[in-house]
A = this chain, B = another copy of it.
Amino acid sequence: MTLDLTADAVTLTRQLVDIESVSRNEQAIADAIEQALRGLPHLTVTRRGHTIVARTDLGRAERVVIAGHIDTVPLNDNLPSRLEDGILHGLGSCDMKSGDAVLLRLAATLPEPNRDLTFILYEAEEIEDEFNGLRLLSESDPDLMAADFAILMEPSGAAVEAGCQGTMRVDVRTTGERAHAARSWNGVNAIHGAHEVLARLNAFEPRKPVIDGLEYREGLNAVFIHGGVAGNVLPDECVVVVNHRFAPDRSEAAAEQFLRDFFEGFEVTVTDSAPAALPGLGLPAAKEFVDAVGGPVKPKFGWTDVARFSALGVPAVNFGPGDPMLAHKQEEHVPVEHIERCERQLRDWLGGSA
């Protein structure tokens, strides 16, 4: 498969969508992207696994990273792409191959941008953290991620979504004592013991802290529950898997402490954690970008890889075509207008229309 970087961003989005690239199956799309980028003499291309990095090296005063992941969630009878009434439908159209297409168009058509650019197209964002291409790159080649500012092209309604909330997963465990269900007075039912865990979750009122003028909104949800030994046995264990989304004014340690306090009296084990990212809108590079793009800035509720840039000291925002509410839905789609607007605004900011 080949990509035609001379095509417009909408056509390019369709080309990308039609190369199926569910996480762990990115070989074909990564090969096509690498081949297309290697044909551009103004870029230096590096590949690590199925992650591609392409850089200008013009000695500009500032360097900006523009990044997008190339994998999608599993197929759900939503390929190939379909363009209808100005809306492009299909797996990955929203999350986030339209963003990738804008990125690739900029890479192909801005040989002399006013800032040095690092384009990163990376693998395995939709699955376990251990496979994430941006995470692997930050470990193997942190210098390739160095920049003054980063733009992650996650769907954000073609507006700037700043920062991101952190996410932590814990197991909340109740224990009991097995007994035959016919003589239950000899045992202690661990599932019954979980009633208080669920009651507290049900009564949870989220914090909504305002940071840099943006109102975040936390979340606390049971995402799994399991318990049970046999159909006639009192269960001696019940586990509620809880996902906490915490605002950027809290560290992972503070979030963990909150959870331990919230579930006081129960055994709590952290199984997964990723820090929030502060919006950082006061930082000069971020401020300049926001001013150039204009429009309202919104808080990012979901966790995104902007947190990885924040951790490296690089201010980063989400800015990409597509409604984030549609991500991971069967009917995901993206308005053509979003794709065109994102490309135009980035091009203007990078001096491409001068």
A189 lies within 8 A of chain B by Cβ: yes
Partner of A73 from the list B192, B221, B230, B234 (CB cut-off 8 Å) is: B230
- Compute how far the CA of A186 lies from the CA of B329 in the bound complex, rounded to whole angstroms: 10
A328 lies within 8 A of chain B by Cβ: yes
Residue of B nearest to A73 (CB): B230
Partner of A198 from the list B195, B228, B232, B243 (CB cut-off 8 Å) is: B195
Count A interface residues, CB 8 Å. 59
Q: Which residues of B sit under 8 angstroms from A321, Cβ to Cβ?
A: none
Between A191, A240, A302, A330, the greatest number of chain B beta carbons within 10 A of the residue's beta carbon is seen for A191
Q: Can you name 22 A-B pairs with beta carbons within 8 Å?
A: A128-B231, A167-B181, A167-B182, A169-B231, A179-B329, A181-B219, A183-B301, A184-B219, A189-B221, A191-B222, A192-B201, A192-B221, A194-B198, A194-B225, A198-B198, A222-B235, A226-B226, A228-B241, A230-B328, A231-B272, A232-B243, A232-B328
Partner of A181 from the list B194, B223, B226 (CB cut-off 8 Å) is: B223
A74 lies within 8 A of chain B by Cβ: yes
Within 8 A of B (CB), among A172-210: 178-186, 189, 191-195, 198-199, 201-202
The answer to whether A183 touches B233 (Cβ under 8 A) is no
Q: Which residues of B sit under 8 angstroms from A303, Cβ to Cβ?
A: 182
The answer to whether A328 touches B223 (Cβ under 8 A) is no
The answer to whether A202 touches B193 (Cβ under 8 A) is yes
The answer to whether B225 touches A227 (Cβ under 8 A) is yes
Q: A281-311: contact bitstring with B at CB < 8 Å (1 yes, 0 no)?
A: 0000000000000000000011100000000
A126 lies within 8 A of chain B by Cβ: yes
- Compute how far the CA of A167 lies from the CA of B303 in the bound complex, rounded to whole angstroms: 47
Min CB distance, A46 to chain B, in Å?
29
- Compute how far the CA of A169 lies from the CA of B111 in the bound complex, rounded to whole angstroms: 66
Min CB distance, A272 to chain B, in Å?
7
Q: Which residues of B sit under 8 angstroms from A202, Cβ to Cβ?
A: 189, 192-193, 195
The answer to whether B183 touches A324 (Cβ under 8 A) is yes
